[in-house]
Each structure stands twice: as C-alpha cells, then as structure tokens.
Amino acid sequence: MKKVVRKMLMIVTVLILVSAIYLIWDNQRVKVVEQTVEIQDLASELEGLTILQITDLHEKNFGQNQEKIIQSINRLEYDVIVFTGDMLNGEDSTNYKPFYNLIEGIDNKEFALYVPGNADPENYYIDSENNYVLNEFVQGMEERGVSLLESASYFEKDGARVRFDMFEMSILHPDQGVVVAEGRVLPQYAHTREYREHHSRLAEEIHTLDEENHDLLVALNHYPVVDERIEQLQSGRYVWRDFDLIMAGHYHGGQIRVPFIGALFVPEPWHSRGGLLPSSDRVSGLWEYEDTQQYVSRGLGASNFIPFLNFRVFNTPEINLITFKNLSSS
C-alpha cells in the first residue's frame, strides 16, 4: 500500500512540475491568431483589408525590450493596427516602458489607434489651474505614433473609406448631455465644466458625421458588448449604429482555462452568474448577435486582480490579424 501511495505522489509531483514548466514557457510566447470577417457587399477596394489587434498587455514583457512580440508583429503585413486597452496594470501606474518599447519597435504605424481600458489612466486630468490636460501616458503614446481615438477616425484604401468609432462615444446622443451609459465608467473629473464641454464636443462631432460617407464601420472598445447590453442599447436612449464589426478585449479569453472545459471566469457583470463559467462562444473570437459581428481577442498579459494568479493558465498570449472578405464572393 505504501508503495502505491509513493508512486501516486511521484506521479502527481511530476505532473505538477511538468505543468509548471509548460505554463512558464506558454506565458512567454505569443501566437498570431488569424480571423476572416465576411461582410455583405464589401467594397472591392476593401477586399483583403487587414487590421492587427493588440490588447491587454498589462505591462508584460516578451523578451528584452519586447523583442519577441516586435519580431512577430514586424513579420506581418497589415493596413491598420489597433490597441484596445489595458496596456498598464492600473490607472495609477507609471510603468509605461513595456508599452512604449512595444510601439517604438513596430515598423508599420502609419495608421495606429488606441482606446483605453479599465487598467489604463484616464485620458485627461484637471491641473492646478483648472486646465484640461492630456495625460502624460497618452502624450507619450501619441509622440510614438499611436493616436488616441476619442470619437471617429477615417482610414482610406484605394478610394474606399473605413470609419473607426470609439464605441462608448458613438452610442451617446449629444442631446442627452453627459449620461452614464450602462457598462461605461465615467472619469473622476466628470462633474467638471471642462469635461462636459469636451464630452459634448466629441458627441456632437461623431453624431453629425455623414452615415453614408464610409464603406465599412468598425467600432473599437475595451469591453466586449454582450448580448444583453446590445438589446438595452437598441431599445433605450442611445444611438445604435450599423456596425460592421466591434473589436474588444478585456476578458483575456478567461485568464484561467481548463482543458475540455474552457474559461472558468470572465469579468462580466452583465452575465447571469457574474462571469462564472461563461458560454464558450461568448469568451473570445468572432460571434454575431442582432446582425452585428464582434471580435474579442484573448490579448497578451494577465490581470493582477488576484495577485497570486497574475498569470495565464492554458491560455497562450495572442495578437490578432483580422482580414475582411466580401461575403458574396465566398
């Protein structure tokens, strides 16, 4: 009996050791996940349009000065690169170097956009003289070639236009003033006149854009837009647009995944169990609801929400290459 127990303990010890070695190795590598998104009647000029998505870095380093991930990115061909939030580990963090090293090493930043996540600092702050000032993190990012997306931005390819919307701004109606949209966190300075004026200007700017003056509409957001929230936005005081694709991150694909089961948890208060044991088709990848396609990346880093679980389990870090294709030609 003792021999059996010793043998079992040895097997368990070996399995734990092998798993630990694998997890350490797996957390240090990056895979490129490719996804084709089919669009009905896509303009011929946009056939093959590519968007590279990078999200949820959480200050993680992949080799010295991010050399591993930079090499992976610079081997790819793409038209647009987007960063969908959580580049830092908290809004008070000043550890900008992992993100700055990353964007400094990327060759193709001709059209690069960023939307903030919940772990990033607020875009602006009110200084001692009541000036509305762009955060130094965002300033440094823009100096390195990545633009903050606050309302909408256009990318042109062979005469066709792709409009990128900051999702949380695009759904707000300027006549409603500063409202708290469900799932949207307002900044600490939301009560200030400076913020209200800036917010109203952005809302008016995106609301008055010609809805026919683009060939493809892509919304960028940090948070996935769950089915229940889509229903709420479509039936309330908000503006629901004819998005061709929504791109998001935040979930990490379920930071801890179990083989044959999938994600154990995603941070999603809209889900019935608060994100516990989520539906596998609403964790990462491409899905569609109410004729709106959405792509959610598993991202790169790990949240420190639970400090001793600040790593991924059976969940390889990823960047995502989205290619658009005409549905009628498939």
Kindly report the pTM of this predicted structure: 0.94
Give residue 210's pLDDT band: very low, low, confident or very high (50, 70, 90): confident
Domains of the chain from N-terminus onward: 32-329 (3.60.21.10)
Residue 174 has a CB neighbour count (10 Å cut-off) of: 16
Exposed e or buried b per residue across 36-61, where buried means at least 16 C-beta atoms within 10 angstroms of its C-beta: ebebeebbebbbebebbbbbbbbbbb
The H-or-E segment that residue 9 falls in is: helix 2-27
The predicted pLDDT at position 182 comes to 58
According to DSSP, the residues that pair with 37 across neighbouring strands are 324
For 13, residues 6+ apart whose C-beta sits below 8 A from its C-beta are none
pLDDT tens sequence across 111-160: 999 999 999 999 998 888 878 899 999 999 999 999 999 999 999 999 99
For 8, residues 6+ apart whose C-beta sits below 8 A from its C-beta are none
CB 160 within 8 A of CB 45: yes
For 82, residues 6+ apart whose C-beta sits below 8 A from its C-beta are 51, 52, 53, 54, 112, 113, 114, 115, 164, 220, 247
270 or 103, which is more confident: 103
CB 215 within 8 A of CB 190: no
Exposed e or buried b per residue across 133-148, where buried means at least 16 C-beta atoms within 10 angstroms of its C-beta: eebebbeebeebebeb
Mean pLDDT of 252-267: 91
For 253, residues 6+ apart whose C-beta sits below 8 A from its C-beta are 263, 283, 284, 297, 298, 299, 315, 318
First CA to last CA distance, the chain? 63
CB 167 within 8 A of CB 246: yes
The predicted pLDDT at position 38 comes to 97
Range with the lowest mean pLDDT among 92-101, 231-240, 320-329?
231-240
Instruction: Map residue 232 onto helix, strand or coil.
Output: helix
| pLDDT at residue 230 is higher than 70 | yes
| pLDDT at residue 262 is higher than 80 | yes
The predicted pLDDT at position 178 comes to 67
Question: What gap in Å lies between CA 113 and CA 234, rounded to an integer?
Answer: 26
What are the φ/ψ torsions at residue 265 (nearest 5 degrees)?
Answer: -160, 145
Read out DSSP for 248-286? Answer: E-SSTTTSBEETTTEESB---TTSTTTTBS--GGGTSEE
The predicted pLDDT at position 306 comes to 63
| pLDDT at residue 184 is higher than 70 | no
The predicted pLDDT at position 55 comes to 98
The predicted pLDDT at position 111 comes to 98
The identity of residue 220, as a single letter, is L
Instruction: Please report, rounded to a whole number, the percentage of residues in the chain having pLDDT higher than 90.
Output: 67
The predicted pLDDT at position 24 comes to 87
Mean pLDDT of 102-108: 98
